[in-house]
């Protein structure tokens, strides 16, 4: 697939992912049109002021909860990247219906509008929290995954195809612990919930490039999972502020000690490639199995989890991840 001359729409286009995606796509390709779809006029204005301008860039005010507005925005669109979501776990727990309206019903609206507009490819962003979810955010993203995978059945006889990308924590994204730790070290005390906690990590650029690559390769019905390194939260804290006191405050509601990107039930329908996994739909026999002979099936009982991951970030690699977020370029380590 060639991004050049394509019309691309990004929901949540003013978010961390959306901005980086637009930056990379414009730098390396020449889409006929790139549409930023979001509900916040201030953030759109700030993007323009920051230099996100050009003859092929468009800004649409709209909410994924509004199906009619999505239909209008998708007129003539070839590719949709769906990154709009409510993703802060505490906010979703406290405002459950709002999370459902955006993450589930909003995803349904994206699907319906894409089908009506004849969009070629729709790629949705998911999260490790969708696997065996223990919080509402993860539950809504699991439901969204199911919607996107199964909607390929609705697209029978048309060219529209739906797939998902699922990955772990994005370094420095909104709500990330790294900026919080950098601020807390000024007081000499970092708060962590549990010293045993582990997470999958990737940079925003790595996430964007993975989404671009998977969109190029998608056939419909897959969930793409990158192979990622893990890190212990306590190691991250000690790299950012080696002299600071660690205040263990206890695990929060809706939080896991470890995250899982592929559970043992999904593993039965998952294919392993050199640098990623492709989860095929387990409940559909009429689509989504084109990857069957392109990789290696996973063994029975396989589980891709952050605490048993064979790949771990070294201290030097953690420093590389943290360095861009150091305030004023000053480093304590």
> How much is the pLDDT for 2?
92
* 227 is known as an active-site residue: no
Mean pLDDT of the region 304-326: 93
List the domain boundaries for the chain.
7-329
Please name which of 28, 45, 37, 50 lies closest in space to residue 10, comparing C-alpha atoms. Answer: 37
Which of 129, 141, 183, 189 is the catalytic position? Answer: 129
> How much is the pLDDT for 332?
40
> How much is the pLDDT for 175?
66
Say how far apart CA 48 and CA 44 lie, in whole Å: 6
> Residue 301 burial (CB < 10 Å; 0-12/13-18/19+)?
exposed
Mean pLDDT of the region 249-253: 87
Prediction pTM value: 0.94
CB contact at 8 A, 33 and 60: no
* DSSP 3-state of 110: helix
Three-class HEC string of 227-284: CCCEEEHHHHHHHHCCCCEEEECCCCCCCCCCCEEECCCHHHHEEECCCEEEECCCCC
Mean pLDDT of the region 257-268: 96
What the block records as the tokens of 39 is 């509900």
The pLDDT > 90 percentage for the chain reads 85
CATH architecture of 7-329: 3-Layer(aba) Sandwich (3.40)
Q: pLDDT (tens digit, 9 = 90+) per residue, 94-136? A: 999 999 999 999 999 999 999 999 999 999 999 999 999 999 9
To 10 degrees, what angle do helices 177-184 and 233-240 make?
40
pLDDT of 46 > 80? The answer is yes
pLDDT band at residue 324 using 50, 70 and 90 as cut-offs: confident
């Amino acid at each position: 697939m060639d991004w050049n001359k394509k019309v691309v729409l990004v929901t949540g286009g003013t978010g961390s992912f959306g901005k980086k995606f637009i930056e990379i796509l414009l730098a390396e390709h020449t889409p006929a049109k790139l549409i930023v779809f979001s509900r916040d006029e201030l953030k759109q204005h700030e993007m323009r002021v920051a230099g996100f301008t050009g003859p092929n860039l468009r800004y649409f005010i709209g909410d994924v909860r509004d199906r009619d507005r999505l239909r209008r925005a998708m007129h003539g669109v070839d590719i949709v990247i769906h990154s709009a979501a409510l993703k802060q776990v505490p906010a979703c727990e406290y405002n459950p219906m709002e999370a459902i309206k955006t993450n589930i019903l909003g995803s349904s609206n994206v699907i319906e509008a894409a089908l009506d507009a004849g969009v070629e490819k729709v790629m949705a962003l998911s999260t490790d929290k969708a696997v065996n979810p223990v919080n509402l955010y993860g539950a809504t993203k699991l439901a969204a995954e199911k919607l996107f995978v199964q909607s390929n059945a609705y697209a029978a006889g048309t060219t529209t195809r739906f797939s998902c990308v699922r990955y772990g924590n994005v370094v420095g994204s909104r709500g990330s612990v790294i900026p919080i730790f950098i601020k807390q070290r000024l007081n000499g005390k970092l708060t962590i919930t549990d010293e045993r906690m582990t997470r999958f990590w990737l940079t925003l650029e790595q996430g964007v490039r993975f989404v671009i690559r998977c969109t190029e390769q998608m056939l419909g019905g897959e969930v793409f999972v990158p192979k990622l390194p893990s890190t212990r939260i306590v190691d991250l804290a000690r790299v950012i502020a080696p002299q600071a006191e660690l205040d263990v405050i206890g695990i929060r509601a809706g939080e896991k000690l470890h995250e899982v990107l592929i559970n043992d039930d999904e593993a039965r329908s998952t294919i392993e490639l050199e640098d990623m996994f492709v989860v095929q739909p387990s409940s559909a026999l009429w689509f989504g199995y084109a990857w069957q002979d392109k990789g290696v099936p996973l063994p029975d009982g396989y589980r891709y989890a952050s605490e048993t991951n064979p790949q771990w970030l070294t201290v030097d690699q953690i420093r590389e991840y943290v360095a861009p977020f150091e305030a004023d370029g000053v480093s304590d380590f």
